[in-house]
Structure 1
Amino acid sequence: MATEREMSMSFGRAADLYEQGRPDYPPEAVAWMLEPVRRPGHAVRAADVGAGTGKLTRALVDAGAETVAVDPDAAMLATLRANVAGVPTFVGTAERLPLPDAALDAVVLGQAWHWVDHAAASGEVGRVLRAGGVLGTVWNIRDASVPWIVRLTEIMHGSNAERMMRAGDPPLSSPFAGWESRTWTWARPVDRAVLTAMVHSRSYLITAGDAERARVDAEIADLFDEIGAVGEALVALPYVTKAFRVLRP
């Protein structure tokens, strides 16, 4: 099995599948993360860290934020630039941000905080945020109250994000303390191709051997047949979006 480092750096090998298979973020979740730093006549200056193909970047731009995107994988950033015009991109990590001190109103991470060194990332985010700026983290998690979702997760294995969510609030270090949180439930209409891309965009599958990938493909094919995800037929893929925010002192 791949190491956590190998898994965290694997997504560029499946950037197109990630873009196709992963859901966007609910606009209300993004608005809630930015709410503490909005003020009349001021455009929020934000960084999307662990930006990937730009799922959260797009939502930040749509919310009116002046946005830069940071990711450790140049292949993911290339896909982001193809899908989100005009956003500056930088290779970097939450632990080493290529951004100046106190330059930002908001730093947000989508599907990413579970990959970082929380103490180092907290300190580095604290460096680039102005006093009163906000750190926001958000995850789209498949809704495990739905039986076929439980079966899907068993087939393709759970993720680090799901394990973190079960353990409680995400870890956090100085200069931050005390997350606020909100949850939204919703569903994404998807067909079989999108469902398959979602499965194949996960780090466990990207780094798996041929035999394991073949097993997963066979089992998800049976499951998708059972739930009616055949051809272009749409099924509802249920999600729980969990967002967290905390202000820099």
Structure 2
Amino acid sequence: MDDDERLLHASSFGAAAVAYAEHRPDYAQAAVRWALAPAPGPRVLDLGAGTGKLTAVLAASAARGADVVAVEPDPEMLAQLRRSLPGVRALRGSAEEIPLPDGSVDAVVAGNAMHWFDMAVAGPEIARVLAPGGVLAGLWNVMDDRVDWVAGLAAVAGSAAVGPRDTPAAWRAETADMHLPQSGGAARFGSAEQAEFPHGQRRTADSLVATLATRAGLLVMPEQEREAALGRISAFLASQPDTARGEFTLPLLTAVLRVRRL
């Protein structure tokens, strides 16, 4: 994906902010705990926070001492976050221009967002706001295609709905080093670590279609193509015993990429 295409996809979510807030899953608490485990202190930045799906899990940790701030560039997404989590400090900004002082956080986390960062610019910015020994962690919810019907859904949905980081094996291959700061410069980062944690989301066929409709690949499609793709997904779900009637659990893994600032 070139820079123009990345920007188009990354800026597509605002128009679907309400649906994103309603339908996207949260993150496994065990994954968040692992992501933050090496952090030297309680100050956590959720960068590219969207409507606050990860922020909410972080905010739930406030009773255990977490001090959370969220930063999001899209005004519609940020408005949804502020409505959902009025007690969280939420600022307009981006990974490439973080509105926080030097060394002001102990951890930077990003939920399904780090792949949108221009890391050549964002890497030094993240290093700037991180205290020495601080942690950078990206979290992604990926569909567990070891389950047969999930593998079938991924095949039917196509790459616009189930992209290159949306299944476990693809995530491992695509993410290992691609979304991390370069090790050169004044601030250095250690070796990357990956981990995956079981998760799930209760869905119906209709609400799973609505969830997939918030994927960037579908949001940027021409309307006729988008409706055709969603129609194929809906027909597939109606044909599967596991998903045709009532609620079911969409098997997910919360996958984490973690690195420490040296």
Asked if Structure 1 and Structure 2 have the same fold, meaning a TM-score greater than 0.5 normalized by the shorter chain, the answer is yes
How far the C-alpha of 1:148 sits from its partner, in A, is 2.4
How far the C-alpha of 1:120 sits from its partner, in A, is 2.1
Matching residue of 1:221: 234
How far the C-alpha of 1:103 sits from its partner, in A, is 0.5
Residue 14 of structure 2, aligned match among 4, 9, 12: 12
How far the C-alpha of 1:60 sits from its partner, in A, is 0.8
Matching residue of 2:177: 170
Any idea what the Cα deviations from partners look like across 1:201-248, whole Å, max 9, x if unmatched?
1011111112211211221121121224356x1112111211122221
Matching residue of 1:147: 148
Matching residue of 2:92: 91
Matches of residues 58-73 of structure 1 in structure 2 within 5 Å? 58-64=56-62, 65-73=66-74
Q: Distance in 2 between the 1:160 and 1:83 partners? A: 30
Amino acid at match of 1:126: A
Change in 2 beyond 3 A, CA 1:237/1:132: same
Matching residue of 1:186: 199
Aligned residues: 244
Report the RMSD for the aligned CA atoms in angstroms: 2.0
Change in 2 beyond 3 A, CA 1:217/1:167: closer
How far the C-alpha of 1:186 sits from its partner, in A, is 3.0
Between stretches 18-27 and 47-56, larger displacement belongs to 18-27
Q: Distance in 1 between the 2:171 and 2:195 partners? A: 16
Identity value in percent? 36
Asked if the contact 2:165–2:175 (Cα under 8 Å) also holds between the matched residues in 1, the reply is no
Q: Distance in 1 between the 2:172 and 2:12 partners? A: 22
Gaps of 5+ in 1: none
Which secondary structure does the structure 2 equivalent of 1:57 belong to?
A: helix
Q: Distance in 1 between the 2:208 and 2:53 partners? A: 17
Any idea what the Cα deviations from partners look like across 1:169-193, whole Å, max 9, x if unmatched?
1322232131122211233221123
- 1:242 maps onto 2:255 in alignment: yes
How far the C-alpha of 1:156 sits from its partner, in A, is 4.1
Between stretches 165-174 and 122-131, larger displacement belongs to 165-174
Q: Distance in 1 between the 2:229 and 2:175 partners? A: 29
Amino acid at match of 2:210: A
Asked if the contact 1:156–1:199 (Cα under 8 Å) also holds between the matched residues in 2, the reply is no
Matches of residues 60-139 of structure 1 in structure 2 within 5 Å? 60-64=58-62, 65-139=66-140
Amino acid at match of 2:117: V
